[in-house]
Structure 1
């Protein structure tokens, strides 16, 4: 099992056992480090682990230098997930707006699913990723509120919304980071309120997102 799939499995092994297994690229089987890149498989909607050379095959051409190995035209199956984290301190979302989203937890993420041609909003739960009941049109309006999220690339980046004690906060994060949170909740949640271990893991995950996030260039300046 790959590292990311362990995150998404309810019966994941202890961390020490998990780290003992050598990670492998799921495209070429090359050994890869514990911290590695991921792709979105647009056919199966899975998130395969990738070595750097395989990952670069699926980075858009305008984001990398041209090389001898190119993805064949019309054969796009995979999309490279960037490591981009962006804080959106000026994202327009009040407490009243949050209530209107009707999300039963304090965290949700929304991304554009290119296969469906519309946004999909999910939130972590003990059963895994649970889809929001709001219609896609409502989430499209949320994404359109900010110039950064209005042009969010499909499948690979998500708008993360968190309602903390100081009010809502918003970030753009890679989708694999969001699914790591889903895996943490599914694996660690105990009882009705989750338990101390689950909430400590969630808080640690949020702290890492904040640490990795910056402010988008050009946003808020004019």
Structure 2
């Protein structure tokens, strides 16, 4: 009976097998340079997708007509209108089945899109135009809203009622991703609720009243 000796892996190889590979740095989709964790994004209006970019490229695509208008830089402003209130009746008319949602305008199809987070990601619906106008369309935040790149983020709680913020669209998708990773059961569970609270605490810390933004 013949035998053969198996080569044993060295210590360095065992360490590499045990330890996950370090994540590769994200890179700008246009110039290829590495981008920091808090990098900017563009919206590809044809694909309705977010693209990572460096600061220089984000400034380039802020210019009117850059790339024929296909790519638009996501702004970094967070606004609230302290004078605007949304009642329970208006909320119900919007048809949001959960306590958090966001609305943006899709310029390619010239329509409003309403999305709300859940275990499978973002669920999409098209709000009734009359309900939109009653709840949000006549407000100053809606007048400020930039198509494709910003959204009106809504949250309804027993303590604070219904709050509305104008935020970058990538912040909304960040929230969707965070909740999807920790969602459990029908209502998300304790971890998802804690993640939601922490996210809105960060948003509240960045929000500026609309009156200070006007004309800037």
TM-score (norm: length of structure 1): 0.79
SS in 1 for 2:163: strand
- For 2:69 and 2:41, locate their aligned partners in 1 and report how far apart those are by CA, in whole Å: 16
2:104–2:148 Cα contact (<8 Å) kept: yes
Question: What SS is found at the alignment partner of 2:109?
Answer: coil
Question: What's 1:32 paired with?
Answer: 35
Please point out which of 157, 171, 181 is paired with 1:177: 171
- 1:94 corresponding residue in structure 2: 87
SS in 1 for 2:112: strand
Paired position in structure 1 for 2:123: 130
> Is the Cα–Cα contact under 8 Å of residues 122 and 131 in structure 1 kept in the other structure?
yes
- State whether residues 39 and 54 of structure 2, in contact with CA within 8 Å, keep that contact through their aligned partners in structure 1: yes
- C-alpha contact (below 8 Å) 2:28/2:34 kept by paired residues: yes
Residues 27-53 of structure 1, C-alpha deviations (whole Å, 9 max, x = no match): 221011111100001111110110011
What is the correspondence of 1:145-164 to structure 2 with a 5 Å cutoff? 145-164=138-157
Q: Deviation at 1:81?
A: 0.3
Q: Residue 54 of structure 2: which of 28, 43, 51 is its match?
A: 51
Structure 2: tracts of 5 or more residues without a match: 1-19
Q: Find the counterpart in structure 2 of residue 110 from structure 1.
A: 103
**Map of 1:7 onto structure 2:** none
- Please report how far the alpha carbon of residue 179 of structure 1 lies from its aligned counterpart in structure 2 after TM superposition: 0.5
Q: Match for residue 120 of structure 1?
A: 113
Root mean square deviation of aligned Cα = 2.3
Partner Cα separation in structure 2 for residue 19 and residue 195 of structure 1: 31
Kindly indicate whether residue 90 of structure 2 is the aligned counterpart of residue 77 of structure 1. no
Change (3 A) 1:19 1:197: farther
- Determine the C-alpha separation between the residues in 2 that align with 1:79 and 1:87: 23
Please identify the structure whose Cα radius of gyration is greater: 2
* Structure 1 ranges of 4+ moved more than 6 A: none
Q: How far 1:125 sits from its partner (Å)?
A: 1.2
Structure 1 position 167, deviation (Å): 0.7
Structure having greater relative contact order (Cα 8 Å, sep ≥ 6): 1
* Aligned residue pairs, count: 194
